[in-house]
Amino acid sequence: MNDTQAPGGPADGTKRPDSSRRSERSRRAIYDAALALVAELGYGRTTIEGIAARAGVGKQTIYRWWPSKAAVLMEAFLDLADQAAGGETGFPDTGDLAADLGLVLRATVDEMNNPVYEAPTRALAAEGIVDPELGAQFVEKLLDPSLQLYVRRLRSAEAAGQLRAGIDHRIAVELLVGPLTHRWLMRTLPLTHEYADALVDYALAGLAPRD
């Protein structure tokens, strides 16, 4: 009858629900409930029924829009991150590479130690480790964008002659971020600003031009 759709409505003739009629109220409530429950109970004990109940929402409203508990949490967390970012997605570039990296790594350490972010991030990371599909999303939507910022900064540093020629920027970034993530995930030793600084120190020494 009417495949003609209102402008703005994306539509596709499939069987998916009409997202233009989606309840914003419910979505927000689900985000909030999901984040709260994960923080309170941990991922494992958080259930879709629980989220629905806490959000004052029917279970079907969740199953209608998300394929899994992890997907709900992922979106909820992305939403949280977007809010928090507040548009500022920049990476400092003062010309002093070590200082800039130190600043960012210290901020990362703080974030990793902040319980508000820690619980859902750990949950998502863990789930992504085991579920490749979700892991891919995690990388694409959360990890890669932030790694790209590092890469860009390194390119700028290379242009300024602050890096050895031929360095693979991606690997260089991982030299910084990998150890940090390792310590965070494995909880081997405390994650401190000093550790961040030491990483910048050791890594840059290996990446700097050989004089």
Partner DNA sequence: GGATAAACGAGACGGTACGTCAGGTCTTGCG
Partner DNA sequence: CGCAAGACCTGACGTACCGTCTCGTTTATCC
| Pick 96 or 133: Cβ nearer DNA | 133
Asked whether 162 and 173 are in contact (CB, 8 A), the reply is no
Total residues binding DNA (CB under 7 A): 30
**Distance, CA of 114 to chain centre:** 14
In the list 123, 154, 157, 191, the residue contacting a copy of itself (rule: CB under 8 A) is 123
At residue 18, what are phi and psi to the nearest 5 degrees?
-80, 105
Classify residue 165 by burial, with Cβ atoms within 10 Å: 0-12, 13-18, 19+.
Answer: exposed
Does 105 sit near a copy of itself (CB under 8 A)?
no
Q: Which does 26 bind (CB under 5 to 8 A by kind): DNA, a copy of itself, none?
A: DNA
Q: How far is the CB of 101 from a copy of itself (least distance, A)?
A: 13
Would you say the C-alpha torsion 127, 128, 131, 134 has a positive or negative sign?
A: positive
**Nearest alpha-carbon partner for 199 in 189, 114, 209:** 189
Q: How far is the CB of 3 from a copy of itself (least distance, A)?
A: 26
Q: How far is the CB of 206 from a copy of itself (least distance, A)?
A: 3
**Contacts of 138 by beta carbon, 8 Å cutoff, 6+ apart:** 74, 124, 125, 127, 128
- In the chain, % helix, strand, coil (3-state, to 5) comes to 70, 0, 30
Site map (CB under 8 A) of a copy of itself, residues 128-147, x = contact: xxxxx--xx-xx---xx--x
Does 18 sit near DNA (CB under 7 A)?
yes
Q: How far is the CB of 82 from DNA (least distance, A)?
A: 20
Asked whether 38 and 119 are in contact (CB, 8 A), the reply is yes
Site map (CB under 7 A) of DNA, residues 32-71, x = contact: -------------x-xxxx-x---xxxxxx-xxx--xx--
**What's the token pair of residue 202?**
């050791």
In the complex, which residues of this chain contact a copy of itself (CB under 8 A)? 42-44, 122-123, 125-132, 135-136, 138-139, 143-144, 147, 164, 167-168, 170-172, 174-175, 177-183, 185-189, 195, 198-199, 202-207, 210
